[in-house]
Structure 1
Amino acid sequence: MKKLQSSLLLLFLFFAVTAFAQRPGGQGGPKVKVTGKLIEQDTKQPLEFANVIIQTTSNVTVNGGLTDAKGEFSLEVPAGTYNIKYDFISFKTVVISNKIITEDTNLGTTAMASDATQLSEVSITAERSTVEIKLDKRVYTVGNDMMVKGGTVSDVLDNVPSVSVDAEGNVALRGNQSVTILIDGRPSTMAGSNVAEVLRLLPADSVDKVEVITNPSARYDAEGGGGIINIVLKKGKADGFNGSVVATTGDPANHGVSTNLNFRSENFNIFSNIGYNYRKNPGNSMNNTKYLNEDNSAKSYTDEKRENVREREGYNASFGLEYFLTKKTTWTNSVNIRRNTGGNDTDTYYQNYDADHVFTSTRYRNNNEDTDETNVNYSTNLIHKFNDKGHELKIDGSISMSKDDNLSGISNTTLGSDTTTYQRTLNNQEENRSLLQADYVLPIGQNSKFEAGYRGSFSTLDNDARAENLVDGNWANDPNYSNYLEYKEKVNALYTQFGSKAGKFSYLLGLRWEDSNIDVNLLSTGEYNNKKYNNFFPSAFLTYEFNQNTNASINYSRRINRPRGRFLNPFSGLESNINIFKGNPDLNPSYTNAIDLGFLKKWSQLTLSSSAYVNLTDAPFQFIRRLNGLYVEDTPVIITSPTNIGKEFRFGFEFNVNYNPFKWWRINSNFNFYRNQTDGDYSYSYFDQKTQQTVNAYLDLNSSGASWTTRINSKISLPYKIDWQLNGNYEAPQNTSQGRRVGVASANTSFSKDVLKDKGTIGLSIQDIFNSRKMKFETFINGESSSYSEMQWRQRQVTLSFTYRFNMNKNDKQQQQRQQQDGGGEEYMGG
């Protein structure tokens, strides 16, 4: 039955694509082509997404479409006499009446003038669409989204189509967590730290847009089997001195202020972003475990309930200078500094029961953690354009230093007794990273292009992790949870690719070679792991253009997913001492072969992007939950650790829709269905502290399961310059190799109103309206344990924000964003 359902869904996708591709553009008879270009009258900039409608003299629409990034359009109609209408929000409509078209006709360049009356009345609708769908990627413009005001980058990503962020902050693209997160095209975090925590520390107000690339070409870094998410930070482009200030407050405590300043002249551009924030995030979790005998009968029960409050105070500042050396050469330098301090006070209660579920004892554990994180990054970028036809050379370099210190004091008490034990943990990380790359682009003729480049990434990380127990007034080291990790990574890459267009067909063929030399050393135990390998990563893209607004494509690429961060670090903390996450320093990289079939169709008010995809992964990372033989007051300790397991086969399809039914209403939605099949097993052994025997265990990890996710986002412009945004998300249940993930639904909403003659905006947002964002799992380990767990990282959040723009109204901002559309961040992602 499940196979039949999957087949029907894929068949539906095929017929949908076929139907859209064959949708008629007009009436019968021989077709002729009508082309032209639209620009803004004042700035001479091309108008993208302007409506072009061709009607008969009796006002019957024959064909229509949208202009592309160059402001150009191409439509086919039967020979005849037509009225041609150009329409764009906040611009005066242009109509060409009774135009006789008997052969291919170029209408030339038409300049559209701003409609001052319309601008003042409905200026909000002049903003570029929050989600822009392209054939090879999707661009999410953060500045237009009220929902993330006062939030973090983690909140931003959780509003991006195809992207999901679970309660622990793990990011997935189309349900796949093997995704690379970049900031301005560069690695987003330290090799040994938790990327989720970095995304929660960076404020959303510093982000301009997010680029999602599901199947990158050889030009991009091969890292990330599930694709690439690039977070582009704000860099001012508008002339003169301008900027904005955003102040926020909220409950639970969420207070901050940030400013984005920019000064641009003929010879240089200075930009900066400075911010401060203070947050308190209450969270909670539970883990009810039934420990089993070999015959799966109950041995004992433990219910673990935890409440915590994460407190963070952060400062971030970035400064940059873009210097126009000549008309063809630009040199940009920037410095980014981030500092965060805070703590995490956690109270955990353990209710213990015997085999008959009769209460035996309660244990209370308090973990008081202090954190101090600092990151400094310097980057430089030189671009030389040999001509205005795309012949250019880009050279990039960056150096960064990161420090992350964590110190925790822990007390453990069995209620009803006078016994209290004390522990403390220390987890200090320090990393240095450097990056050098060069990208060369050479157009060949009118329709071909050659590219080549180099990228070198080098990093070193030292991680000192210690756990100590207070014994007779002295601190004694606990070797089970202490280690010194040294991580060194050197990755050199070369790539080349060639693309061309012949008629309606275009192709892009590329090959990337990467040489990796990685050391993961545990100095405290004398374990040394060297991973040295080199690989070729081919890619191939084929696109067919049915017409100006309809494209279909098929593409292939090979990707790699290197283990980093908490995947490698054997120790991450002891908030719980019976359910512990432990990294695996001996993890190997996994390799993915990815195939995508894509379809893109644009109408005057609707844009549809759909794709069917297949991923074949060798040695994927699987989180294995198992006993380790240790006990805490007769309660077994369960370890969760990543391990390379067999193979994974994943296929699915997704739809992304942008729909503007009216000028005052904008809708975008995403639906993703996927099915995973994992083939593998895992054998392990441990020494049981209680029985004093070695236990050999085997886990059959063969599993298959389907799931789906969907989200819809609606933005409505109400009277009195009030905007209302509402979105809903749902992640369906999914079977895993050791159990089942439970489905979860959530909703967010926000309101905003323009004030002070559109120079200011007041916003009110509610994240997780129903307080339902919880990660829920059911886990079963044959002969060991059965458990149900819930985790809520942050409870419902209400945020009030005020934005003030000076020397920049909303329409200036639209122009600024249009200028940025093809720049910012992506240049760093090549090589």
Structure 2
Amino acid sequence: MRQLFPLLLLLALSFNYTYSQRPGGDRERGPITISGKVLDKDDNLPLEYATLVLQSVNNPDQITGGITDIDGNFKVEASPGKYNISIEYISYKTFKLPNQTLTENKDLGTVRLALDVAQLEAVEVVGEKTTVEVRLDKKIYNIGKDLTNSGATISDALDNIPSVTVDADGAVALRGNGNVRILINGRPSALAGFGSTDALQQLPADAIEKVEVITSPSARYDAEGTAGILNIVLKKEKTRGINGTINTTVGFPDAASLTANMNLRKEKYNVFTTLGYSYRTPPGNGFADNIYLGDESVFDRIIEDRDINRMNSGFNLNLGMEYFLTETSSVTASAFGRTNNGEDITEIVSTNFVGNDINRITQRIEDEQEEEKSAQFSLNYNNDFNTEGHKLTVDLQLSYNEEFKPTPINEQETITNTGFDGARLNIEELELQNEYLAQVDYILPIGDAQFEAGYRGNWEQSDTDFYLEDFNFDTGAFVPNLGLINRFVFNQNVNSFYTQYGNKLGDFSFLAGLRLENTQLKGEIVGADIEQLQEIIGEGIEVNFDKNYLGLFPTLNLIYELAENENISIGYNRRINRPRGRFINPFPSQSSRTNIFQGNPDLDPAFANAFDLGYLKRWDKLTLTSSVYYQKETNSFERIQEETGQITTDGIVVIRSIPINLATNERVGAELGLLYNPTKWLRLNGSFNFFEFNSDGEFNGINFGARNTSWFSRFSSKVTLPSKIEWQTNAFYRGPTNNAQTVNEGIFSLNLAFSKDILKEKGTLALNVSDLLNSRRRISSTQTPFFTSESEFQWRERQITLSFVYRLNQKKQRREREGERNDDGGDDEYGS
């Protein structure tokens, strides 16, 4: 509404100006010119789209005027006469000059407007009501007003978004489905870790402007992700001059961070940067009680207690410059870099039973170190041919990631002595990832309609080099394990073309599209014993492969406006879930001697058809969003556990987790969201998501079909206390879930945050308590024909942080100004 206000007023002024030029108007002496400049009184920044109003004293119905440009300048023509002059800008006090006689050109000079505090509070209340925006193919959440994000990570911010959950391991799911595609500014990015969520658990949430939840993606988007897409849009301040924010955070357990978002905007260019440093030591813990049912294992029961001590420190830098070639075109170049040094020391105490008697207690210490470097270079060309939406964008992107993980492992007996010598390993894993992206999007408006077409090429390569040494207790030296030393090179190449057409016919809008994608998945084992590896993974599975998949992916999104603030939407899309490198790497992990994870090179992509029916209704103080959805997925992924047929030297059965393709997975669900603002000091936000899925299929003669009904809900309240202290509470509960082998109990977490503006609203202090009750932990029960397991895992314990934000040449809740350039992935009337 704030953006429409200047345009509507300008249309009114233009109409009256035209009317005033009709015969009978005072034009005998010719027009005169009124000029001047409008600035913010506090920071001297220009106010674009401020409105000059000239109202005739003799004929009050005769009004003319104009608006300021990007530099705050105005220059309008009017007939000589007597006028009441005013200069207006929403949320600022109006400047007035009554009864001015204008007979010749007049320069009003520089006019400085001051904020109207009463109006500003009203504007901020309106802003709270529009936290969620609905498009044909997505919902947009502005997370900048969530106090619990201060000092938090991107993963923490995502976990506060309706429809989104982040589990105890940091895995992101949408509507309970983990097959979600994560984009940064509408594109794959090194920030998202090439499909991994590790980087999202380290990067600060301060850099995020909004999150787009795209449950029914249009044809413009990559078809990857059967659950949908999460597009994280980063901040990029567009206000002229030098401005930005600096955020510092300290916390317990030990945590510290410093993030600066800075911007320099001139007439011909815009330079923006985000620089950050973080240090965290989030402790974790785990527990497992495993009972072996077969006769192969020497031990009947093994209880494991796990303590995890982590340290992560890292720098990240995002630097870019947008250069305006013309009034309608620009080139943007940006570079992102990230370094991270981490160490996870995991101590596992295992108590082994024979019958009911303790036979042995061992201690295993894993010291996993991590040195990671990421870089990304982007070049974007944008040409807005006109203001009607005729547009061409070209994107080129290069991403690189290097991760080196040396991990010494030492396991030994601590109490009893059964002749077990222990185990000592040295593991070194080096993973290199490269990604190249080229994308062209063209938008052509045709009256109220819009045609769009484009191309995207995405080429990814991951090269994983794994080296393992075993300690020989007889010789006292480490010896290379030639059977497990390996190198796996995986390529995923996707080329796609799309076209879509949208139109608005009265109260009815639609967007129909078609995407053609060719996917190549290529894996190669380098320098390993193929015959020995074939014995490990089984016969009939190609360890070296080159597969191609060609598919059409139609999309259709409809909206019908029942009233000004009420609509119904319908969406259909076909999606693909491509297996990532870890899921098809056939080499088993070595983080445990007895429970390993192993990829499946025979894994094929999964395909899904999804339908979505939504309803939106806005009242004065209440906004309701709701939807029901159905999805049928073929070749769906499922992680199962099975015996490998191998037994350790001390008689423990080795069990592996492996991903497989099941036949089908049907999912049906419903979600409801409410945003209620009863008063300006209270905001309530709640959402509820219910879903059921039914999977069907078998592997190696065992049926792994299952039916699961679950739900999750979140509630948030934001209260303004006396002295303008803001208090926010976020509560979340996820109901129990299960698959064919494992049942997970429900999870509840509670976050609290308090904030207070200081230094004349240039600074904000915030206290944040994440997981107040220390209850965010995964509790699972697994039942198979050969063993049972009761386990508990907590990735991060309760965290308390204190942060301070300082705004440089910015006002709190500064309004976005209409007419500025957009770099959020390409919003338009029909989609992104």
TM-score range relative to shorter protein: 0.7 to 0.9
Deviations 1:714-737 (A, max 9, x none): 111112121111010001112311
Q: Which residue number corresponds to residue 69 of structure 2?
A: none
Q: Which residue number corresponds to residue 145 of structure 1?
A: 146
After superposition, where does 1:168-183 map in structure 2 within 5 Å?
168-183=169-184
Rounded to whole Å, the distance in 2 between the matches of 1:192 and 1:665 is 38
Task: Give the TM-score normalised by structure 2.
Answer: 0.82
Q: Which residue number corresponds to residue 825 of structure 2?
A: 825
Rounded to whole Å, the distance in 2 between the matches of 1:763 and 1:437 is 41
Letter in 2 for 1:357: N
Q: Which residue number corresponds to residue 271 of structure 2?
A: 270
Letter in 2 for 1:386: F
Return the offset for 1:811.
3.8
Distance 1:569 1:254, change over 3 A: farther
Are 1:428 and 2:425 counterparts? no
Letter in 1 for 2:713: T
Secondary structure of the structure 1 residue equivalent to 2:723: coil
Of residues 544, 557, 572 in structure 2, which corresponds to 1:528? 544
Are 1:469 and 2:470 counterparts? yes
Of residues 601, 605, 608 in structure 2, which corresponds to 1:585? 601
Of residues 500, 509, 512 in structure 1, which corresponds to 2:512? 509
Q: Are the aligned partners of 2:368 and 2:405 in contact in 1 as well (CA < 8 Å)?
A: yes
Distance 1:228 1:282, change over 3 A: same
Distance 1:297 1:717, change over 3 A: same
Secondary structure of the structure 2 residue equivalent to 1:567: helix
Structure 2 unaligned regions, length at least 5: 10-37, 39-46, 52-88, 95-112, 531-542
After superposition, where does 1:28-47 map in structure 2 within 5 Å?
38-39=5-6
Rounded to whole Å, the distance in 2 between the matches of 1:373 and 1:482 is 22
Return the offset for 1:815.
3.0
Q: Are the aligned partners of 2:129 and 2:623 in contact in 1 as well (CA < 8 Å)?
A: no
Q: Are the aligned partners of 1:497 and 1:509 in contact in 2 as well (CA < 8 Å)?
A: yes
Q: Are the aligned partners of 2:297 and 2:653 in contact in 1 as well (CA < 8 Å)?
A: no
Letter in 1 for 2:779: K
Secondary structure of the structure 2 residue equivalent to 1:586: coil
Secondary structure of the structure 1 residue equivalent to 2:791: strand
Deviations 1:133-185 (A, max 9, x none): 31432222232222122221111111111100001111000000010011222
Greater shift, 771-780 or 560-569, is seen at: 560-569
Q: Which residue number corresponds to residue 241 of structure 2?
A: 240
Return the offset for 1:575.
3.4
Deviations 1:101-143 (A, max 9, x none): xxxxxxxxxxxx9971326778865755583131432222232
Deviations 1:75-104 (A, max 9, x none): xxxxxxxxxxxxx995799xxxxxxxxxxx
Q: Are the aligned partners of 2:244 and 2:263 in contact in 1 as well (CA < 8 Å)?
A: yes
Rounded to whole Å, the distance in 2 between the matches of 1:591 and 1:317 is 37
Secondary structure of the structure 2 residue equivalent to 1:195: coil
Letter in 2 for 1:406: K
Q: Are the aligned partners of 2:191 and 2:200 in contact in 1 as well (CA < 8 Å)?
A: no
Higher relative contact order (CA 8 A, sep 6+): 1
Distance 1:591 1:821, change over 3 A: farther
Deviations 1:499-540 (A, max 9, x none): 112222222211100011121222224531112111100111
Letter in 2 for 1:792: Q
Rounded to whole Å, the distance in 1 between the matches of 2:777 and 2:803 is 26
Return the offset for 1:195.
1.1
Secondary structure of the structure 2 residue equivalent to 1:281: coil
Secondary structure of the structure 2 residue equivalent to 1:186: coil
After superposition, where does 1:627-638 map in structure 2 within 5 Å?
627-632=643-648, 633-638=650-655
Return the offset for 1:192.
9.1
Taking only aligned residues, the RMSD between alpha carbons, in angstroms, comes to: 2.8
Return the offset for 1:573.
4.6
After superposition, where does 1:796-807 map in structure 2 within 5 Å?
796-807=798-809
After superposition, where does 1:236-635 map in structure 2 within 5 Å?
236-293=237-294, 300-354=300-354, 356-416=355-415, 417=417, 419-445=421-447, 447-471=448-472, 472-478=475-481, 481-523=484-526, 524-526=528-530, 527-571=543-587, 573-632=589-648, 633-635=650-652
Secondary structure of the structure 1 residue equivalent to 2:197: helix
Return the offset for 1:713.
1.1
Task: Give the TM-score normalised by structure 1.
Answer: 0.82
Rounded to whole Å, the distance in 2 between the matches of 1:773 and 1:821 is 41
Return the offset for 1:189.
4.7
Deviations 1:690-723 (A, max 9, x none): xxxxxxxx42112112100000111111121211
Letter in 2 for 1:116: D
Aligned residues: 717
Letter in 2 for 1:234: K
Greater shift, 574-583 or 183-192, is seen at: 183-192
Greater shift, 118-127 or 526-535, is seen at: 118-127
Rounded to whole Å, the distance in 1 between the matches of 2:114 and 2:740 is 59
Q: Are the aligned partners of 2:193 and 2:199 in contact in 1 as well (CA < 8 Å)?
A: no
Return the offset for 1:330.
1.2
Rounded to whole Å, the distance in 1 between the matches of 2:669 and 2:336 is 39
Are 1:666 and 2:690 counterparts? no
Distance 1:258 1:656, change over 3 A: same
Rounded to whole Å, the distance in 2 between the matches of 1:556 and 1:501 is 18
Rounded to whole Å, the distance in 1 between the matches of 2:800 and 2:256 is 11
Secondary structure of the structure 2 residue equivalent to 1:147: helix
Q: Which residue number corresponds to residue 751 of structure 2?
A: 748
Rounded to whole Å, the distance in 2 between the matches of 1:660 and 1:571 is 54
Letter in 2 for 1:618: T
Distance 1:298 1:647, change over 3 A: farther
Q: Are the aligned partners of 1:190 and 1:431 in contact in 2 as well (CA < 8 Å)?
A: no
Secondary structure of the structure 2 residue equivalent to 1:199: helix
Distance 1:132 1:565, change over 3 A: farther
Return the offset for 1:582.
2.0
After superposition, where does 1:639-650 map in structure 2 within 5 Å?
639-650=656-667
Distance 1:347 1:680, change over 3 A: same
Deviations 1:465-523 (A, max 9, x none): 22221112332233564421101121110000111122222222111000111212222
After superposition, where does 1:168-247 map in structure 2 within 5 Å?
168-189=169-190, 195-247=196-248
Secondary structure of the structure 1 residue equivalent to 2:283: strand
Letter in 2 for 1:146: L
Rounded to whole Å, the distance in 2 between the matches of 1:716 and 1:301 is 51
Larger Rg: 2
Letter in 2 for 1:244: T
Rounded to whole Å, the distance in 2 between the matches of 1:701 and 1:125 is 51
Rounded to whole Å, the distance in 1 between the matches of 2:179 and 2:280 is 29
After superposition, where does 1:703-742 map in structure 2 within 5 Å?
703-742=706-745
Letter in 2 for 1:161: P
Secondary structure of the structure 2 residue equivalent to 1:187: coil
Q: Which residue number corresponds to residue 84 of structure 2?
A: none
Greater shift, 526-535 or 263-272, is seen at: 526-535
Q: Are the aligned partners of 2:732 and 2:750 in contact in 1 as well (CA < 8 Å)?
A: yes
Rounded to whole Å, the distance in 2 between the matches of 1:150 and 1:596 is 35
Rounded to whole Å, the distance in 1 between the matches of 2:265 and 2:90 is 28
Rounded to whole Å, the distance in 2 between the matches of 1:89 and 1:157 is 32
Rounded to whole Å, the distance in 2 between the matches of 1:597 and 1:552 is 7
Rounded to whole Å, the distance in 1 between the matches of 2:491 and 2:705 is 34
Deviations 1:19-51 (A, max 9, x none): xxxxxxxxxxxxxxxxx963498857699xxxx
Letter in 1 for 2:451: F
Distance 1:414 1:46, change over 3 A: farther
Letter in 2 for 1:218: A
- Percentage identity across paired residues of the two chains: 39
Q: Are the aligned partners of 1:192 and 1:461 in contact in 2 as well (CA < 8 Å)?
A: no
Q: Are the aligned partners of 1:213 and 1:229 in contact in 2 as well (CA < 8 Å)?
A: yes
